[in-house]
Chain A
Amino acid sequence: MSAEDGHTPSERASDERTPDERSRVEYLLRLGDSDLVLGQRLIAWIGHAPVLEEELAIGNVALDLIGQARLWLSYAGEREGAGRDEDALAYFRQAHEFRNVLLAERPNDDFAVTMTRQFFYDVWHLELLRALSGSNDARSAGIAAKGAREVSYHVERSREWVVRLGDGTAESNRRMRRAVELLWPYTGELFAPDAVDEAGVRAGWGCDPAALRAPWLTAVEDALTEATIDVPPADGWMQSGGKSGRHSEDLSYLLAEMQSVRRSVPGATW
């Protein structure tokens, strides 16, 4: 049976989906996995945050991200049509099957690294969701418009921390400089389009990541300047691979922790 025989995707076996349909699922996994992995990273601060208010804030941001991840992953599972729900996708895939951006999996390190990672992610995330709320896929547009409201709160907070720590004491400034230097090479991937992104732009269900770069850079330069931190060269060497499943070792440890309970008692309900 060829792909041009006039059957709708649901009438074919899942491995006979059209290239466009495969790209769509891939794209949804990227959205869901990035939110899920960063949410899981943040959860590790619970019980360790410097003050109670920050612990609550980190917990709330993580909750928003995991909530958004659930919406994206449920949708990815439905479109894939192979019977996988959000839990199957979150708990029963290996690291190489995750499609999150590398920035999301960077370790928490110290508070400066956590907040810098958050700020870089939040600015990008907000631009991305705003763009996607114009998607011609009504369900994606709905998830994105809802998420954008939540993320606008995230970015206000992470920006405040970047400025406060950068323009703070000599020690907090030193740590912020280190954080920006460590994380900068992971920002390039956010804006580098590949075949999946191009399919989304062509068909109208996705958006062009390259178009998010100028507003991102403006917002980041503005905050870093206020924080008295030098902005690294935008054309420097950048890491890539997360969107196609090539991850750092750090992701495996995160997944081992996140998936262990579910895998030890598969199918359990409570």
Chain B
Amino acid sequence: MTVAHEHAAPVAAASDVAAVWEWLADVPDPEIPVLSVVDLGIVREVSWRGEGAERALHVALSPTYSGCPATTVIRRDIESALRAHGVANPKLEVRLAPPWSTDWISPAGREKLRAYGIAPPSAPRAVVCPRCAAAEVELVSRFGSTPCKALYRCNACREPFDHFKCH
């Protein structure tokens, strides 16, 4: 079966994808709202697929942790953001491989984390206090208030702080 091909589509599709990335950059992570889902690096792919009535927006997401309860909320938030921008039937797909890594957090995202009081991901020996930048810190607990964070204390300013675990 052959279908007549519409040659006008690819240009429009490319710019549409750029717009979608901008919309997604306004969707906050529900647990660390200072980061967007794009900063967090969990949006892996945005693409329009299919032709005519079959044309649909596909968004691939990679969850941070297998059991992160925010994943369901993130999915819902992304869907409603896309609908608000007029995407009738977005197709969201969870992509486990390759596994999400903190390396995918954008440089802007790292700076936002630090300004928010969360030490951005780094090797345990390289963790510095997000408030006073002192390197004299100690691990209080490997697990913090969410799956992605560990609990630290600064021995210079004595403030406790969260560290986004290197993953």
Residues of A within 8 A of B (CB): 53-54, 56-57, 59-61, 63-68, 70-71, 138-139, 141-143, 145-147, 149-150, 153, 156-157
Contacts and interface: CB of A to CB of B under 8 A. Distances in A.
- Chain B interface size, under 10 / 10 to 19 / 20 to 34 / 35 or more: 20 to 34
Interface stretch (B41-49, B93-101, B107-115): B93-101
Given A142-B97, A149-B167, A70 B142 contact: no
Given A59-B143, A146-B100, A150-B66, 18 more contacts: A53-B141, A56-B141, A57-B143, A63-B65, A63-B68, A67-B68, A68-B66, A68-B67, A70-B66, A71-B66, A138-B97, A141-B97, A142-B97, A143-B66, A146-B97, A146-B99, A150-B147, A157-B142
A150 B99 CA distance: 11
12 contacts: A53-B143, A54-B141, A56-B144, A60-B147, A64-B66, A67-B66, A71-B96, A138-B97, A141-B97, A145-B97, A146-B96, A147-B66
Contacts of B97: 138, 141-142, 145-146
The A interface is mostly helix, strand or loop, or mixed, namely helix
B140 interface: yes
A142 B100 CA distance: 11
Contacts, number: 68
B165 interface: yes
A141 B143 CA distance: 26
A145 B99 contact: yes
Contact of A64 (B65, B99, B141, B151): B65
Given A141-B97, A153-B142, A153-B165, A53 B151 contact: yes
B143 A60 contact: yes
Nearest to B145: A56
Contacts of B147: 60, 63-64, 150
A67 B66 CA distance: 5
A150 B148 CA distance: 10
Given A60-B147, A150-B66, A145 B98 contact: yes
Contacts of A61: 143
A179 to B, nearest CB: 21
